[in-house]
């Protein structure tokens, strides 16, 4: 096992980096991936992939679920603890195996190719592509604040029913989302330098915008009506909260109900803090990965976690708790700026969120393609996807990802109001992301366990960085992830079950590709 890990960088599939003897196919000779990312670039990928639309909208749903300012901040703090402990564990794996594909490679080495494939398959099917689609739609929605022609109900192709609960359409909003995906896919095929230039520029801009929200809230807020001045800081019931209103059909009451719904209130904060592992997907393209990957993961995650906590404190300082819970279309940040500066403030915040979502999608598109590239190098995905172009980037993987992501923006869910018979349309990718959250937590848990497994299976392998606080830090991560998985399975067994089924769709696909690779 030791030799297998130590020799991966120059002689096995799933990398193809130009810094030794590459494993390129004849069509790929002379290109391959090039280590071109410095410490700033890697850190910007971590931060830029994390900061999207989540921090600006998810606090509304979390506030409704948990009912008090203290619990809202605690939900973000515990999600931040999971991010930091996860980053500490991931740093050891990333510096031990700085390969294209990152987490996919960690799973392949710890558990074998089948589990690695299931991770990569789920990433392609919904986790990465669904998130890219969601963020692209968020960009289009906020563009609609400035351009009324961009809207979810202004159709180029009206909804066409696909059974009782689904339809397919093309609205101006969907068209803008597709155009954004196409533009960022194209720019990233032009080379890593252009992709990182876009990433760095937009990450600096949106980090400054988020810091601006923090400074405005903490300096101009704290009015007598603000949630931060509430006397019911921890008493959800005093704020008019009840488990049955927060979770219709919920039968439990008291502290147990609060505890279970606290776990569910972390879904939004966790979604807002996902994608920090994306920098590991580019492991073979980071210069001096032994130092730069650790710095990027810890500095990037730490900065974002602190900003997120301060941003939520700013919301509490500017708005009353009901204003957070009832923010129009969940746009808490826009509501906060509107209270402070009126409509000009709301418009500025909408522009800042557009910058944020643009940069976030660039990071997700840039990094996600490297996983499918690594899978193809292991002959577990379309062979063409495992090649690079003249600019040393996996253009075919980027295009494949872009096509599937664009498709995910088209299907719509259909719901009808029983009383008014009014039909409303949602987005399938949003539903898929709800299904997959438990599976995403499961992959997080498996990544932490992989650290422990590889400590035992490959004790002599080179580890430029060893996880601080081992084994207590991994144990904290495992306990938190495990409790959340059980909590969500209890509260929404159907949703969690469908998420696992989505992962398991990869099982027959794996054996099909494995059989094809052996012939």
pLDDT in tens, 461-513: 999 999 999 999 999 999 999 999 998 888 888 888 888 888 999 999 999 98
| Triad 476, 497, 64: Cα angle to 5° | 65
* Under 8 Å between Cβ of 145 and 350: yes
Q: What's the confidence (pLDDT) of residue 13?
A: 41
Q: What's the confidence (pLDDT) of residue 32?
A: 81
Computed from CA positions of residues 216, 219, 224, 228, in that sequence, does the dihedral angle turn out positive or negative? Answer: positive
Beta bridge partners of 427: 412
User: What tens digit of pLDDT does each residue of 10-34 get?
Assistant: 333 445 554 443 333 333 333 488 9
Domain boundaries, the chain: 35-104+126-367+391-500
Q: To which H or E segment does residue 471 belong? A: none
Q: What's the confidence (pLDDT) of residue 7?
A: 37
Kindly report the CATH number that applies to the domain delimited by 35-104+126-367+391-500: 1.20.1740.10
Q: Residue 506 and residue 134: Cα distance in Å, rounded?
A: 22
- Helix 69-96 / helix 428-457 crossing angle, nearest 10 deg: 50
| Spatial CB neighbours of 440, under 8 Å, sequence gap ≥ 6 | 127, 274, 499
Rounded to an integer, the average pLDDT of 310-318 is 96
Structure tokens at 279: 């920098």
Q: Residue 499 and residue 519: Cα distance in Å, rounded?
A: 32
| Triad 403, 408, 488: Cα angle to 5° | 135
Helix (H, G, I), strand (E, B) or coil at 411: strand
Phi, psi of 156 (to 5 degrees): -90, -35
Q: What's the confidence (pLDDT) of residue 474?
A: 96
């Amino acid at each position: 096992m030791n030799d297998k890990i130590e020799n991966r960088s120059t002689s096995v599939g799933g990398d193809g980096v130009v810094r030794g003897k590459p494993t390129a196919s004849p069509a790929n000779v002379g290109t391959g991936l090039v280590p071109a990312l410095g410490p700033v670039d890697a850190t910007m990928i971590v931060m830029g992939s994390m900061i999207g639309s989540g921090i600006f909208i998810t606090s509304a749903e979390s506030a409704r679920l948990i009912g008090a300012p203290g619990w809202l901040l605690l939900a973000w703090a515990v999600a931040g603890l999971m991010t930091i402990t996860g980053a500490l564990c991931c740093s050891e794996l990333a510096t031990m195996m700085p390969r294209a594909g990152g987490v996919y490679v960690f799973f392949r080495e710890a558990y074998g190719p089948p589990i690695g494939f299931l991770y990569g398959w789920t990433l392609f099917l919904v986790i990465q592509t669904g998130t890219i689609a969601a963020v692209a739609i968020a960009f289009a929605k906020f563009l609609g604040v400035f351009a009324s022609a961009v809207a979810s109900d202004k159709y180029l192709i009206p909804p066409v029913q696909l059974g009782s609960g689904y339809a397919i359409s093309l609205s101006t909003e969907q068209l803008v989302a597709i155009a954004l995906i196409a533009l960022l896919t194209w720019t990233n095929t032009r080379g890593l330098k252009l992709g990182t230039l876009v990433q760095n520029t937009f990450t600096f801009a949106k980090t400054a915008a988020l810091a601006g929200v923090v400074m405005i809230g903490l300096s101009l807020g704290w009015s007598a009506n603000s949630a931060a001045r509430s006397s019911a800081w921890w008493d959800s019931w005093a704020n008019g909260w009840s488990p049955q209103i927060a979770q219709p059909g919920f039968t439990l009451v008291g502290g147990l109900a609060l505890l279970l719904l606290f776990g569910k209130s972390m879904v939004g904060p966790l979604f807002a803090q996902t994608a920090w592992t994306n920098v590991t997907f580019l492991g073979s393209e980071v210069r001096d990965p032994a130092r730069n990957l650790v710095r990027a993961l810890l500095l990037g995650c730490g900065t974002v976690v602190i900003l997120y906590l301060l941003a939520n404190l700013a919301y509490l300082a500017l708005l009353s708790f009901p204003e957070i819970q009832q923010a129009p279309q969940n746009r808490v940040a826009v509501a906060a700026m509107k209270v402070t500066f009126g409509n000009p403030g709301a418009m500025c915040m909408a522009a800042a969120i557009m910058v944020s979502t643009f940069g976030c999608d660039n990071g997700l598109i840039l990094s996600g393609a490297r996983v499918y590239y690594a899978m193809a190098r292991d002959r577990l995905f379309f062979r063409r996807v495992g090649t690079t172009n003249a600019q040393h980037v996996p253009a075919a993987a980027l295009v494949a990802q872009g096509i599937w992501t664009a498709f995910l923006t088209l299907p719509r869910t259909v719901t009808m109001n029983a009383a008014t018979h009014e039909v409303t349309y949602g987005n399938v990718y949003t539903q898929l992301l709800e299904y997959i959250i438990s599976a995403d937590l499961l992959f997080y848990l498996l990544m932490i366990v992989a650290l422990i497994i590889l400590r035992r299976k490959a004790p002599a392998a080179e580890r430029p960085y060893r996880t601080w606080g081992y084994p207590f830090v991994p144990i904290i991560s495992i306990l938190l992830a495990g409790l959340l998985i059980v909590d969500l399975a209890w509260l929404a067994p159907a949703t969690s079950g469908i998420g696992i089924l989505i992962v398991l769709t990869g099982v027959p696909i794996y054996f099909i590709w494995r059989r094809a690779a052996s012939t």
